[in-house]
């Protein structure tokens, strides 16, 4: 099977994927805390210098595709050519798509708005920023909601931790008030 050019675009930028369920790789569960606990079971691949001989076989052997956002789906505010067609193809084959990002400026709600503005229809539950994993981790270790979390970072981290029920200090408000301190 000749490799679809649109899929090649995503492969060159890197895709992590999850094989079909097996004892070694259990099925991905849809909520953040389960995703975080299972992250160590994921296989990660990058395009090698050898050409992919059968893209269809690779796609058919996968249940879930994990795609980075910045530089893979879009650059700045511009969608990369071929992305919608590729996502539609993966969805038509029943593949689960998970979108990851380390951009902490936006909450999951704000990331969803960006997807919407680019014409990509997804659920907020399919977006897993690094700070969502952090909030999920705190939940998984039963971190007391009476304790405070000091945030060194952007709005997205702060908002997501507060949505998870954690009390936060620091964050963008602190840095804005103290930006002249050297």
pTM: 0.64
Q: How confident is the model at residue 173 (pLDDT cuts 50, 70, 90)?
A: low
Share of the chain residues as helix, strand and coil, in percent rounded to the nearest 5: 40, 20, 40
For residue range 86-137, list pLDDT tens digits in order.
Answer: 999 999 999 999 999 988 888 888 899 999 999 999 999 999 998 888 888 9
Mean pLDDT in residue range 78-88: 94
Q: For the chain, report the end-to-end CA distance as a whole number of angstroms.
A: 59
For residue range 38-78, list pLDDT tens digits in order.
Answer: 333 344 445 445 677 788 888 999 999 999 999 999 999 99
Contacting residues for 50 by C-beta, under 8 A, at least 6 apart: none
DSSP-assigned letter for residue 12 = H
- Where are the domains positioned within the chain? 5-141
Tell me which residues are annotated as active site.
63
Residue 170's pLDDT is: 85
Residue 171's pLDDT is: 75
Architecture of domain 5-141: 3-Layer(aba) Sandwich (3.40)
Q: How confident is the model at residue 176 (pLDDT cuts 50, 70, 90)?
A: low
Whether the Cβ atoms of residue 156 and residue 124 lie closer than 8 Å to each other? no
Least confident stretch, 16-30, 120-134, 136-150: 16-30
Number of helices (H) and strands (E), helices first, in the chain?
8, 9
Mean pLDDT in residue range 15-21: 40
- Tell me how far apart the alpha carbons of residues 180 and 182 are, in angstroms, rounded to a whole number: 6
φ/ψ (deg, to 5) at 170: 80, -135
Q: How confident is the model at residue 80 (pLDDT cuts 50, 70, 90)?
A: very high
Residue 22's pLDDT is: 40
Kind and range of the H or E run holding 67: strand 62-68
DSSP-assigned letter for residue 146 = T
CA 4 to chain centre: 23
């Amino acid at each position: 099977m000749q490799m679809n050019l649109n899929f090649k675009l995503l492969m060159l930028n890197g895709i992590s994927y999850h094989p079909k369920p097996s004892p070694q790789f259990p099925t991905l569960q849809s909520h953040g805390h389960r995703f975080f606990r299972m992250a160590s079971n994921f296989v990660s691949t990058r395009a090698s210098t050898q050409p992919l001989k059968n893209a269809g076989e690779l796609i058919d052997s996968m249940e879930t595709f994990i795609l980075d956002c910045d530089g893979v789906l879009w650059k700045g505010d511009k969608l990369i050519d071929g992305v919608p067609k590729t996502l539609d193809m993966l969805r038509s084959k029943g593949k689960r798509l998970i979108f990851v990002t380390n951009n902490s400026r936006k909450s999951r709600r704000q990331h969803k708005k960006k997807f919407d503005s680019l014409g990509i229809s997804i659920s907020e539950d399919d977006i897993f920023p690094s700070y969502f994993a952090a909030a999920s981790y705190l939940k998984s270790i039963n971190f007391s909601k009476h304790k405070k979390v000091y945030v060194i970072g952007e709005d997205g981290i702060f908002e997501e931790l507060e949505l998870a029920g954690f009390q936060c200090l620091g964050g963008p408000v602190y840095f804005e008030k103290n930006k002249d301190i050297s």
